């Protein structure tokens, strides 16, 4: 999209330190920040955020050493509480300056992300790639989440009546995790985003070949769906993450 927009921005709300260690073989690999910075086609600006100060310091040193010429901001914020501060780092679009942002959200559990954060970001021209802990978290903790006093999924989906929908689904063949993926899609649809069907999401598997996360793209432009389908079709299988 670089030739169609004046400024393209990459935003990673849960960036980590830039490197990760695989448990099973102890190998250290580059994670999302260093991978995207190393791509041949560059973004105009990169914004990384992580709540852990040690991760932020490590990422800063690695970027300074390996990618000194790029326009990078690093924040050390709770992504949900500090979202307005992070938003201020995205260049403002105007009549003669078009800005498109791409936001990657890599969370471990649903408690990490509130839908209000996605809603705030969606006021800009922005596409989202979200790693949803459908089985890693939702399926494992269904009983806890069905407790009406537990508000984690309410805040994750921006929806307080999801329990009624799930309970009334009866013989629905979907797992609870798949239901959460679909409900997040509906919430994004309410913001004007195209809603991906479950088969359009990518299952991220553990070492036992079980899907534990779902990777979903949300965009308001149907062309993004075409790009996503091509990415899924022509990329190699995932790295062995060693969960």
pLDDT digits (tens, 9 = 90+) for 136-168: 999 999 999 999 999 999 999 999 999 999 999
pLDDT of residue 234: 80
pLDDT of residue 237: 59
pLDDT level of residue 2 (50, 70, 90 thresholds)? confident
**86 in Cβ contact with 2 (< 8 Å):** no
Residue 61 has phi, psi (to 5 degrees) of -65, -40
**243 in Cβ contact with 206 (< 8 Å):** yes
**79 in Cβ contact with 113 (< 8 Å):** yes
Euclidean distance between CA atoms 75 and 55, whole angstroms: 11
Euclidean distance between CA atoms 131 and 138, whole angstroms: 13
pLDDT of residue 243: 36
Cα-based angle 157, 173, 208 (whole degrees, multiple of 5): 85
Under DSSP, the state recorded for 236 is P
Percent of residues, the chain, with pLDDT higher than 70: 97
In a 3-state reduction of DSSP, which class is residue 191?
coil
Closest CA to 177 of 203, 151, 206, 150: 203
Q: Which residue's structure tokens are 């307080």?
A: 160
Least confident of 52-56, 122-126, 171-175, 189-193: 171-175
């Amino acid at each position: 999209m670089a030739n169609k927009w004046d400024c393209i921005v990459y935003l990673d709300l849960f960036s980590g330190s830039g490197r990760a260690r695989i448990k099973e073989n102890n190998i250290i690999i580059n994670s999302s920040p260093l991978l995207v910075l190393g791509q041949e086609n560059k973004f105009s600006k990169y914004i990384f955020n992580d709540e852990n100060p040690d991760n932020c310091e490590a990422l800063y040193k690695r970027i300074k050493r390996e990618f000194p010429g790029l326009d990078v901001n690093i924040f050390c914020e709770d992504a949900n509480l500090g979202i307005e501060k992070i938003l201020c780092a995205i260049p403002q679009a105007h009549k003669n300056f078009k800005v498109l942002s791409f936001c990657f959200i890599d969370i471990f559990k649903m408690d990490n992300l509130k839908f209000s954060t996605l809603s705030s970001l969606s006021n800009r021209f922005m596409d989202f790639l979200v790693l949803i802990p459908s089985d890693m978290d939702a399926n494992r903790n269904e009983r806890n989440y069905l407790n009406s006093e537990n508000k984690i999924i309410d805040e994750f989906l921006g929806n307080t009546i999801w329990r009624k929908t799930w309970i009334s689904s009866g013989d629905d063949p979907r797992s609870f995790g798949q239901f959460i993926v679909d409900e997040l899609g509906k919430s994004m649809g309410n913001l004007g985003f195209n809603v991906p069907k479950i088969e359009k999401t990518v299952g991220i598997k553990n070492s036992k070949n079980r899907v534990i996360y779902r990777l979903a793209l949300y965009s308001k432009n149907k062309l993004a769906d075409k790009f996503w389908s091509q990415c899924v079709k022509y990329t190699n299988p995932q790295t062995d993450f060693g969960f």
